[in-house]
Structure 1
Amino acid sequence: MHPHNDQQQDWHDFEIDSAREIVTLLRAIGDKKQLVRMLIKGETDVCLTAVLEVDTERGTVVLDCPVNAEQSRRAGGAERIAFETTLDKIRILFSSSQLRSVTHEGRPALEMAIPETMIRLQRREFYRMATPVSLPVMVCIPLPPELGGGTAAFPLADISCGGIALFDQKLVLGNSIGSHFQGCVLDLPEIGSVTTALHIRNALDLTVLNNKTRHRLGCEFVDISRGNLNLIQRYITRLEREHNARVAGLG
């Protein structure tokens, strides 16, 4: 998935792993005949499909074949396929590692396993501020032995009272969705440092300027103290004030 960078400031992302909720969402996408964009890993062209049926007994989703037969053939052999659609103005992202060619009501179709997780990008729950790009705010995360030990520093993409998004360009944190990291230290300029545990909720690859891709991890604060939360709120207020001053200066 490659949502553009500027959209990220307006959305709050949640990973859904409740099987019942995933089935409900897939059925709603099918009932409303929402078009689903399908992106085959390693390819640039996007094909369109739709959800035809969700079979909970077999644990499968049946999708309409793309109009282009060659795309259908390639989808059947792809190692990973990403899907993106919208439902009631909320963007839904999910993926599959395997599609099979099947027949549905006498017509060719594609079948995949019901995804174990989905990401729902919805209107922000917490007010999020993008952090400066030129002088990035850093978070230091202690690494467990299986990730090499020591600590690693990552630049922030944005911050809210609920969590942060960080960029992990070198994939130091590996495939860490669902992981908890204790004793993470946020260094907030002119405010002070904040120590908190972080829970990694999701990962997105963002296409930024010059078509470069950045690996973005959405993290939630865990058991953050009231004092530390106050520091974060003060920092967000300061960022807001600086942003407003820049806008006023430009106006």
Structure 2
Amino acid sequence: MQATFPSLGTENQSPYQVESRREIIALLRGFKEKNQLISMYINNGAEAFITSILDVDDTNNTVTIDSAASNEANQRIVEASQVFFDGLLDKISIQFSSSKLQKSIFEKRPALLMPIPVSLIRLQRRENYRINTPISNPIKCQIPLEVDSSMQTGKFSLVDISCGGIAILDDQRLLNISIGTRYAECQISIAGIGVLDTMLEIRNSQDLTLLNGRTTRRIGCEFVNLSSKALTNVQRYIMNLERERNAKMTGIS
């Protein structure tokens, strides 16, 4: 029976269920080899953690994932009736779930262990695919907002970008996350492209606990009335970022 996953994106999604064991193992190993982070949800999405796949053992039919920062959080995870996972791999969202997580040790570090899922969901964003933005030198988005009855400019790091919008991190929880809230005169500074002027509309939000125990809030925002020139610049940036990553993967300098 197909599970219901927490919705993270704003784009229309066309789900495809994958049941080939060989393909499932290949996709899971893709997360490990490319060091892609995965969101892990319990309690129907009320709690979220950022994790990664440490090992895929097809002989023992197990997947090892990084544990949460606290013993209390790990206990809630293993006691959860269902744990959902969502990650982005090669511009495609991969989603799966398990009800059989247990505590483990991997390379002398605490970890979580689960069976290789018998099926997963592969969601292709047909209109606008997301691409993760650099972590080491994050893109900043400036959003004018009211703080203590005065107007200030908040600076937020991007998580990903598409031609339809962006996801940002709001560590201090400054933004109104009510769906439909709009912020005008926002600016996104993109290296090699310039400053992108846009209005943003809040579409979704999720409180996250990172592996180091720090909490943050991920907010999905949609571009409103983006100009043709700005859209072209976003497309150019995505293409450049994809080209750079492909070059690194193939060893081309």
TM-score range, shorter chain: 0.5 to 0.7
2:85 and 2:242 mapped to 1: Cα distance? 32
User: How many positions carry a matched residue from both structures?
Assistant: 160
Q: How has the CA–CA distance of structure 1 residues 227 and 180 changed in structure 2, closer, same or farther, with 3 Å as cutoff?
A: same
Counterpart contact for 1:182–1:198, Cα < 8 Å: yes
1:200 and 1:228 mapped to 2: Cα distance? 19
Larger Rg: 1
2:145 and 2:199 mapped to 1: Cα distance? 12
Q: Which amino acid aligns with 1:48?
A: S
- CA-based RMSD of the aligned residues comes to 3.7
Unpaired runs of at least 5, structure 2 = 1-5, 13-40, 48-71, 87-93, 98-121
2:160 and 2:248 mapped to 1: Cα distance? 18
2:238 and 2:84 mapped to 1: Cα distance? 31
Counterpart contact for 1:147–1:173, Cα < 8 Å: no
Unpaired runs of at least 5, structure 1 = 1-7, 17-35, 50-82, 93-120
Counterpart contact for 2:193–2:237, Cα < 8 Å: yes
| Identity across the alignment (%) | 38
Q: Which amino acid aligns with 1:159?
A: I
1:185 maps to 187
Q: Which amino acid aligns with 1:180?
A: R
Task: Measure how far apart 1:177 and its partner are.
Answer: 3.4
Q: How has the CA–CA distance of structure 1 residues 147 and 234 changed in structure 2, closer, same or farther, with 3 Å as cutoff?
A: farther
1:48 maps to 81
Counterpart contact for 1:12–1:124, Cα < 8 Å: no
1:123 and 1:199 mapped to 2: Cα distance? 23
Counterpart contact for 1:91–1:122, Cα < 8 Å: no
Counterpart contact for 2:203–2:221, Cα < 8 Å: yes
2:243 and 2:205 mapped to 1: Cα distance? 29
1:244 and 1:147 mapped to 2: Cα distance? 47
Q: Is the partner of 2:175 in helix, strand or coil?
A: coil
| TM-score normalised by L of structure 2 | 0.53
Q: What's the CA shift string for 1:118-162, capped at 9, x where partnerless?
A: xxx954341211111111100100114667412111110011000
1:217 and 1:143 mapped to 2: Cα distance? 15
